[in-house]
């Protein structure tokens, strides 16, 4: 048998093995665009509950907290009502998350970490990168499921998030009720706190490894300099993420609702009509109970 015959008879491997070079780069690319870009914008928007009052000067008469609520709610309403092709953007984001997650799980389960034998910082980052990926996927499903898909059975107190009242309903979901902080609310808030931190690490560390994957940081000195830049970015995102969680946990949902109702008469009328409809339904149920 000739050498060419031996090469022809040898198995070519799986699809993932044959296209490893391309898939690795697509995996790192989707982690940056659009997932990473969305993470930065999302944390920036959510953290406006803390810094939004600086921009919302005309609403600052009720205090910086009220002004932060006003700024955040205006931003969320604009995203949901005026951003063009929002469905296309969300579809692209979900396809990227699915691709990045599935491929990431494959690489994590087939790769090997030598943290047990060689306890270097890079090896610990490798292990934490895998753990943060698993937790991140679970958190994204919970976060979107409870605040976008209506999975209220997973929310303490059963609060349903609504974008016209984004601040008050988000605060109630993290606190456990509209009236105060519950044990369930504390558990959810701690989960948010930990998961947001892990997601930020996953993105910042992924940026560092992506530069190596794409051949942008070849030397050790270049990797160190890029590592410092990623650490600074990660620290900033971590401050925004944790600040957002703390800001909404400390926010009074009822006070936030007053601010939200004052922003747009149209949304205020819609909320009043909804409350009236719910009242009529409850009254109808009560009459039926009396007639039985």
- The predicted structure's pLDDT at residue 108: 87
pLDDT for 222 = 93
- DSSP-H helix ranges across the chain: 3-9, 15-18, 20-32, 35-46, 48-55, 64-82, 86-110, 121-147, 166-175, 183-213, 220-249, 253-263, 265-291
Cβ within 8 Å of residue 114, ≥6 positions away:
123
Residue 115 gets which letter from DSSP? T
Report pLDDT for 17.
Answer: 82
pLDDT of res. 147: 93
pTM: 0.84
Per-residue pLDDT of the chain (292 residues; tens, 9 = 90+): 444 444 444 446 788 888 889 999 999 999 999 999 999 999 999 999 999 988 776 655 568 889 999 999 999 999 999 999 999 999 999 999 999 999 999 988 887 655 554 455 678 888 999 999 999 999 999 999 999 999 999 999 999 999 999 999 999 999 999 999 999 999 999 999 999 999 999 999 999 999 999 999 999 999 999 999 999 999 999 999 999 999 999 999 999 999 999 987 565 544 544 444 444 444 443 444 444 4
Model pLDDT, residue 216: 94
Domain extents for the chain?
A: 28-109+135-286
């Amino acid at each position: 048998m000739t050498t060419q015959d031996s090469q022809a008879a040898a198995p070519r491997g799986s699809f993932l093995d044959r296209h490893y070079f391309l898939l690795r780069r697509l995996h790192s690319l989707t982690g940056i665009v659009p997932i990473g870009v969305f993470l930065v914008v999302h944390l920036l928007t959510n953290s406006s509950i803390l810094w939004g009052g600086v921009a919302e000067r005309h609403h600052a008469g009720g205090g910086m907290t009220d002004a932060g609520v006003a700024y955040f709610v205006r931003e969320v309403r604009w995203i949901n009502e005026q951003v063009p092709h929002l469905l296309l953007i969300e579809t692209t984001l979900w396809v990227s998350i699915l691709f990045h997650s599935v491929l990431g799980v494959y690489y994590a389960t087939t790769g090997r970490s030598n943290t047990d034998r060689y306890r270097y910082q890079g090896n610990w980052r490798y292990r934490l990168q895998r753990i943060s990926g698993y937790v991140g996927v679970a958190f994204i499903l919970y976060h979107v499921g409870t605040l976008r898909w209506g999975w209220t059975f997973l929310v303490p107190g059963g609060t349903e998030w609504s974008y016209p009242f984004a601040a008050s309903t988000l605060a109630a979901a993290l606190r456990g009720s509209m009236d105060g902080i519950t044990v369930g609310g504390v558990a959810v808030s701690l989960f948010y706190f930990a998961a947001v931190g892990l997601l930020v690490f996953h993105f910042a560390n992924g940026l560092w490894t992506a530069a190596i994957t794409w051949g942008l940081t070849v030397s050790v000195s270049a990797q160190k300099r890029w590592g410092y830049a990623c650490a600074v970015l990660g620290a900033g995102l971590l401050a925004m993420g944790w600040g957002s969680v703390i800001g909404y946990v400390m926010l009074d949902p009822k006070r936030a609702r007053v601010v939200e109702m004052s922003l747009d008469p149209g949304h205020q009328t819609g909320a009043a009509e909804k409350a009236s409809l719910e009242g009529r339904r409850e009254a109808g149920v009560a009459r039926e109970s009396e007639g039985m």
